[in-house]
Structure formats: C-alpha cells, structure tokens
Amino acid sequence: MARKQHVRQFLGNSVWSGLSTVARAGSSLLINKLFAVYYGPHGITLLAHFQNLIALLTTLPNSGVNVGLIRYLAQHKPDSLEYRAYFWTGLFLNAVTFLGALGGILLFPGFFLERFGEEMLAQSSSFSLWAVLGLFVLLLLQLFWLSVLLARQELQPYVWLSLLTSLISIAVTWWAVGRLHLTMALVLFLVGQSVSGLVGLGVVLYKGLVPSWQGALPKSVLQDLGKFLVMALSTLVGAKLVDFVVREMAIEQFSLVETGLWQAVVKISDSYTMVYISILGMVYYPKIAALLPQPKALKEYVRTVFFLLVPTVGVGLLVFGGLRDFFIQLLFHRDFLAARELMDYQLLGDFLKMTAWVLSYIVTVQARVKLYIFTQLASGVLYVALVAWLMPLLGVEGLPLAHALRYAVYLLFHLYLFRSYFFAS
C-alpha cells in the first residue's frame, strides 16, 4: 500500500512539475534554435558561455541558500518564528553570496569575459552596466520566490510564474536575434529571465508567505543554511566553474564552430535533463526532506522512485538516440548534423548521471557537508583530467566520452554509499 501511495503521490505532483518544465524546456529549446539559425555554432558556444556565467553568479544563492530554505521552510508554518527567521536570513544570504560571486568574476575579467567582454564593454555605459546588475537582482528575487513557493508546495503559482518567464524570454530573444550584435542579444536574453522577480513578489505576498520583518540573524539559522552554502560552493567549483574551464579548453583546442557542435549536443542534453531535475526538485526533494525523521519510510520512498525513474529514463534516452537526426534539425539546424556522432557517449553519460541524482539528492537533504564537497570536487577534478587526456587523443569526441566516464564513477560511488536502501529492513 505504501509503495502504491508513493507512486500516486509522485506522479500526481509530477503533473504540475511537468507543466512548469515543459514551459522552461520549450523556451530553452526555442531560444537555442533562434541563436543557432541567426548566429550558427559560434552563437551556440557564446550562448552556453553566457548562461554558464549566469550560473556562476547564481549558484551560491540558488543551489545553496535556497535549497536549504526549501528544507527548513517546509517544516514550519508561515506564521511561526522559525519560518520568519529562515526567510529573512535566507534573503540576506542571497544578497551577500551574489555580491561575493560578482566580486570574484570582476577580479578576473580577462578569463570570464574574454569571449564577449570587449564588444560588450565597448557598447556599455555606466547606466547600462547598472541596468544589467538590476536584471541580476530581479533574477535572484525570482529564484528566491520560487523556492518559497516550492517549500510550501504551492505548485500552481510556481507553474504560472515559470510560464510567464518562458514567454517573456522567447519574446525578447525573438526580437533581439538578427537585429543586434550577438553580445547584446545575450544581455537581452537575461531580461526574460528576470522580469518575473517583480511578479513573484506579488504572488508570495498574496499567498501570505512573506513574514513580518526581522533584522536579527540567529546564529543557529546561519549555521543551518551555511551547511547548504558550503555544499553549493563545492558545486560552484566542481560543476559550474569546471564547465566554464572545459569549454575554454575546447575553444583553445578547436574553434568556436567545432566547440559549438559539441555544445549543441550538451544543450540538447540540458533540455531533457531540465525536465528530469525539475521533477526531482519540485516533487522528490521536498518529499525526502519531509521524510528525514522517518528513515524506514524514506528508504521505501527512495527505492520506489529509483525503480520507477531509472527504466523510464533508459527507454526515453534510447528512443531519443534513435531519432537524433530529426531532433538535431528540429532543435538547431541541418548545419549541426555533424554533431550526431557525439550523441552516443553523451546519452550514456546522461543516463548514468540521472540515475545517480536520485541518490545524490539524499546527501544534499541530509546536509552531509563533507561528503557532498568531496563528491563534487572529486567529480570535477576527474572530469577536467579526463578531458585533458582524451581531447588530444580523440578530438571533439573525447569531450562526451569524458562526460560518460565521469558519471560512471559518480554512480558507482553512490550505489555503494546507499546500498542499504535497496534491501528491505
């Protein structure tokens, strides 16, 4: 009975998650298509680089502070003192961590902005630079409001906010591509990702999810959220920064065009993994957070979801691989068909990664800080080492092979770590 109840609950909540993700994934795919048609593989490379830059600025607030908030806000009512303490401390940490990440990028502008910085700065004024900073603030607010809604399982407004963001992103990008220089089109891409920050404020106010002001930051709350922040720091270095470095290595070794073919494959991968990670983030993560005080129920739920998702993912990726030519032309352009040879290792790596995520989320929700940091940093170092070894030997094909080998090791580690979850107590 418990297994059937878990399946029904997971699938029911996944409907709302699916609607949100379809909007986000559809927006991402259409934006990729627009950049591919108007700017070619070169444009896809710089779009990926710019999106990676955004991730570097938002990983600590969103993947650190906000992930911790979902856990703790889910356990307290909006009118409680605990909820108020976590809410305002979380908002404060969002601002501090963003400014810290921004300072880190500005310390090394030659590395982070080299590919599009000169053109962007040439067309910039102090007003436009402040405007870009304002867009990032709105983006941070949007991500914060979405986390608050998720914590309270307010999935319907979450979906509508995601849909609004997607529509604005598509409209702005549609207008910008072909009219403006590539770098300015990238800046306007950020507009669509940010406007919902104001709308989200209205939604959480209407839902009564904004508590009364609290200026004090309790030490215990800072420590609780600090654990997730430290884990996100390892994600920032071991994943986001590593991705940026590997792309720079590829550009140096090959060209923007060849790198763009590989990035087209990665972007296709990002599109379907976005669907998957959205379901995990909206449905699976809040549920395992709620089940933490019940170890037996937690293991049962994890087993159920694992054996539901893994074969589904495997079949889906096999079908996708068989139709790769169709999807490459649909999502990009026939000029990108040369990327088809890179798909096999990418799909294998994605299957291993998506399987491992079901287990790695347990490490996150349990706030096992040292273990999380080790896995993220070790995985990142392994990936860079594999890329440095395989890229000179195999050319561009070495990049997706390195991806597959990285996540084979990552999955084996987590299967060993959580082996007790697959045996009934």
Q: Following DSSP, what letter does each residue of 27-64 receive, concatenated?
A: HHHHHHHHHHHHHHHHHHHHHHHHHHHHHHHHIIIIII
Q: Which helix (H) or strand (E) element contains residue 225?
A: helix 219-235
H helix intervals, 108-213: 109-112, 117-122, 126-151, 155-176, 182-194, 196-206
| Entry pTM | 0.78
Write the pLDDT tens digit of every residue in 321-375.
999 999 888 888 888 888 898 999 999 999 999 999 999 999 988 878 889 889 9
Q: Where are the domains of the chain?
A: 2-422
Which pLDDT tens digit goes with each residue over 98-120?
999 988 888 887 777 776 654 45
**Does pLDDT of 2 surpass 70?**
no
Q: Distance of CA 392 to CAs 251, 264, 337, 344, Å?
A: 13, 21, 23, 19
Burial of 341 (0-12, 13-18, 19+ CB in 10 A): middle
Sequence-distant contacts of 168-177: CB under 8 A, at least 24 apart: 168/192, 168/195, 168/196, 169/27, 169/31, 169/193, 170/27, 170/30, 170/31, 173/30, 173/31, 173/34, 173/35, 174/34, 177/34, 177/35, 177/37, 177/38, 177/39
pLDDT of residue 128: 65
Can you say whether the dihedral through the CA atoms of 232, 379, 278, 341 is positive or negative? positive
What pLDDT sits at residue 193? Answer: 67
The mean-pLDDT minimum among 50-54, 109-113, 416-420 falls in: 109-113
Distance CA 172, CA 185 (A): 9
**What is the arithmetic mean of pLDDT over 228-242?**
87
Q: Is the pLDDT of residue 192 over 90?
A: no
Higher pLDDT, 3 or 187: 187
